[in-house]
């Protein structure tokens, strides 16, 4: 059931990428306009909800790996979306009960829901900010308080860079985050890619997001790899989100609409 009233600062007549993603994941934080838009999208691309679920599952596997195998206890989740099941702080805390997480999203709907879930939790914070403007986030008192103890940080950019146009200089922003974090920190990126999809679908996908504040930018894998700012990707290449971190026989078959994932470690 769609939400009926909009909290202050939220326009219920404009579809939101955050709320549509929540809808795809089976959440309830969406308006009629999001559902109509998502239905239009699924008619052309029935795999969209599955892709959202694969991406989310990849995020959970990646955070578990960073916490368990790399010992990471600090998380900066850029473009965190609406709180859903198994949020980053919950996944990290299963391994490190004292893990700290700072969530960042530009969408006001995410702020309202994040605050209701995280309120009073001393180990987590939510900052409503644009991830292409790193200084606002790095200088924020909550980032300073939770993430600046000199410990490695996992900087997570899951399903967000494809909403950042080149004009917003995403690479420069990511470089700024990398400059600010200590050695041993992790940069993790998942993104939709233009490689391997039909040109007609590419056009349809881009048109679909034309009226949404976060417009979709489908990049080739090479450009996504460039967003790692020269750090070598662990394993040498990007993987399908449905396959990363899974044994071959369990990996979901690659959908025609592709999302890829990789991570790198700062030396």
Ligand X SMILES: C[S@@+](CC[C@H](N)C(=O)[O-])C[C@H]1O[C@@H](n2cnc3c(N)ncnc32)[C@H](O)[C@@H]1O
Query: What minimum distance in Å lies between the beta carbon of 267 and ligand X?
Result: 26
Q: Which range touches ligand X (CB under 6 A), out of 2-10, 63-71, 78-86, 217-225?
A: 78-86
CB 232 within 8 A of CB 186: no
CA distance 130 to 229: 20
Q: Which of 12, 15, 49, 79 binds ligand X (CB under 6 A)?
A: 79
Rank residues 160 and 233 by Cβ distance to ligand X and give the closer one.
160
Q: What is the C-alpha to C-alpha distance for residues 78 and 171, in angstroms, rounded to an integer?
A: 14
- Asked if 54 interacts with ligand X (CB under 6 A), we say no
- Judged by CB under 6 A, the residue of 118, 159, 192, 241 near ligand X is 159
- Give whichever of 21 and 205 is closer to ligand X, judged by the CB atom: 21
Under rule CB under 6 A, residue 80 binds ligand X: yes
Rounded to 10 degrees, the C-alpha dihedral 107/163/31/207 comes to 150
Does 91 sit near ligand X (CB under 6 A)?
Answer: no
201: Cα within 13 Å, side-chain hemisphere = 20
Cβ of residue 170: shortest distance to ligand X, in angstroms? 8
**Residue closest to 245 by CA, chosen among 74, 60, 47:** 60
Site for ligand X in 242-261 (CB under 6 A): none
Say what angle helices 199-208 and 32-44 make with each other, to 10 degrees: 170
- Binding residue for ligand X (CB under 6 A) from 10, 33, 51, 59? 59
């Amino acid at each position: 059931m769609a939400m009926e009233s909009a909290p202050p600062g939220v326009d219920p007549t404009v579809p939101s990428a955050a709320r549509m993603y929540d809808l795809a994941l089976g959440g309830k934080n969406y308006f009629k306009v999001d559902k109509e838009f998502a239905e239009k999208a699924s008619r052309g691309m029935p795999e969209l909800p599955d892709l959202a679920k694969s991406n989310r599952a990849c995020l959970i596997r990646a955070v578990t790996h960073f916490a368990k195998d790399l010992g990471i206890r600090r998380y900066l989740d850029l473009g965190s979306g609406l709180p859903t099941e198994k949020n980053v702080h919950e996944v990290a805390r299963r391994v490190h009960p004292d893990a700290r997480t700072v969530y960042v999203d530009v969408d006001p709907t995410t702020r309202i829901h994040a605050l209701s879930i995280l309120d009073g939790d001393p180990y987590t914070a939510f900052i409503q900010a644009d991830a292409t403007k790193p200084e606002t986030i790095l200088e924020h008192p909550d980032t300073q308080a939770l993430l600046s103890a000199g410990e490695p940080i996992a900087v997570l950019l899951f399903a967000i860079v494809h909403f950042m146009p080149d004009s917003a200089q995403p690479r420069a922003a990511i470089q700024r985050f990398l400059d600010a974090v200590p050695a041993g920190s992790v940069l993790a990126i998942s993104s939709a890619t233009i490689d391997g999809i039909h040109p007609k679908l590419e056009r349809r996908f881009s048109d679909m997001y034309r009226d949404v504040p976060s417009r979709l930018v489908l990049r080739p894998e090479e450009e996504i790899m460039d967003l790692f700012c020269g750090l070598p990707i662990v394993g040498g290449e990007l993987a399908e989100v449905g396959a990363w971190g899974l044994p071959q026989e369990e990996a979901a078959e690659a959908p025609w609409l592709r999302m890829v994932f990789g991570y790198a470690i700062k030396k």
